[in-house]
Amino acid sequence: MKVFVDIIHPANVHYFKNFIKEMQRAGHKVYITARNKDVTLKLLEAYGMKYFNMGKGRIGRGSFGKLLYLIYAELLTFFYFLRIRPNCVISFASIPAAHNCFLFRIPHISFDDTEHNRINRLLYKPFTAVIFTPQCFLDDLGPKQIRFPGYMELFYLHPSVFTPDPSIVRHLGVNPGEKYVVVRFVSWDAFHDIGQHGFDYESKIKLVRALVPHVKVFISAEGDLPPELEQYRILISPEKMHDVLAYATLFIGEGATMASECAALGVPAIYVNSLELGYLKEQERKYGLVFNYRTSEGITEKALELVKEVDDGASWKNKQKNLLREMIDPTRFLVWFVQDYPYSLERLRSTPDVFRNFDNQCEAGYEE
Query: How many residues are listed for the chain in this entry?
Result: 368
What per-residue confidence (pLDDT) applies to 213? 96
Question: SS in 3 state form for 165-224?
Answer: CCHHHHHCCCCCCCCEEEEEECCCCCHHHCCCCCCCHHHHHHHHHHHCCCCEEEEEECCC
Give the Cα separation of 246 and 242 in Å (integer): 6
What per-residue confidence (pLDDT) applies to 282? 97
List, for residues 135-146, the tens digit of each pLDDT value: 999 999 999 999
Each domain of the chain, given as residue ranges in start order, spans: 2-148, 167-325
Give the Cα separation of 338 and 340 in Å (integer): 5
What per-residue confidence (pLDDT) applies to 177? 87
List, for residues 89-133, the tens digit of each pLDDT value: 999 999 999 999 999 999 999 999 999 889 999 999 999 999 999
Burial (Cβ within 10 Å: 0-12, 13-18, ≥19) of residue 163 = exposed
pTM exceeds cut of 0.75: yes
For residue 145, which amino acid is it?
Answer: Q
Query: Residue 32 carries which DSSP code?
Result: E
- Considering the domain delimited by 2-148, tell me its CATH architecture: 3-Layer(aba) Sandwich (3.40)
What per-residue confidence (pLDDT) applies to 309? 86
Give the Cα separation of 150 and 264 in Å (integer): 10
List, for residues 353-367, the tens digit of each pLDDT value: 788 766 544 444 433
Query: What are φ and ψ of residue 341, in 5° steps?
Result: -65, 140
Q: What is the topology classification, in CATH, of domain 167-325?
A: Rossmann fold (3.40.50)
